[in-house]
């Protein structure tokens, strides 16, 4: 295993990510080549610091942009996922006195909506678009973040 992967492994990265990363000599090369936005968000979550920190709020805004990629798959008239995204964005921007508890309630409601629609998400079209969505998410993450500092709190 390449040395740059050691801290990522110690953070608990999945075996698939570690295996994939081993093809790159450096972390900046891997960051530039990654097409798994979910992996990138996971790593940034490990590095982003305390819950109320500016770096955590930046991460939330980035994740919200990625979450918006899923909205075309939400059943027409189902507004809970959009409401959850908008609530999280408001919290991250410090708007409307939104608390982290409000974000949690909105996320729970969105999860309930997603769970109810799970059979639709399992369709062949949704599965085929998954790879493209991960790649789009990776591009969004790179818009918000240069290569992150691998020290905790350095995202």
What does pTM read for this prediction? 0.83
State the first-to-last Cα distance of the chain, in angstroms, to the nearest integer.
24
* Domain ranges within the chain, ordered by starting residue: 34-144
For the chain, what is the largest distance between any 2 Cα atoms, rounded to a whole number of angstroms? 49
pLDDT of amino acid 150: 82
pLDDT of amino acid 21: 97
pLDDT along the chain (155 residues), means of 10: 94 96 96 95 92 90 90 86 91 90 83 60 58 90 91 63
Residue pair 73/120 in contact (Cβ under 8 Å)? The answer is: yes
124-135 exposure pattern, b = at least 16 Cβ within 10 A, e = fewer? eeeeebeeebbe
């Amino acid at each position: 295993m390449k040395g740059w992967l050691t801290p990522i492994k110690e953070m608990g990265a999945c075996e698939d990510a570690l295996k994939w990363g081993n093809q790159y000599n450096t972390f900046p090369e891997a960051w530039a080549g990654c097409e798994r936005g979910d992996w990138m968000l996971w790593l940034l979550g490990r590095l982003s610091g305390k819950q109320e920190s500016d770096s955590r709020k930046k991460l939330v805004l980035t994740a919200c942009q990625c979450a918006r990629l899923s909205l075309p798959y939400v059943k027409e008239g189902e507004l809970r996922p959009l409401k959850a995204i908008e609530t999280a964005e408001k919290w991250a921007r410090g708007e409307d006195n939104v608390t982290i508890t409000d974000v949690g309630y909105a996320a729970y409601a969105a999860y309930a909506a997603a769970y109810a629609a799970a059979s639709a998400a399992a369709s062949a079209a949704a599965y085929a678009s998954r790879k493209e969505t991960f790649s789009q998410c990776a591009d969004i993450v790179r818009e918000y973040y240069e290569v992150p500092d691998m020290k905790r709190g350095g995202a």
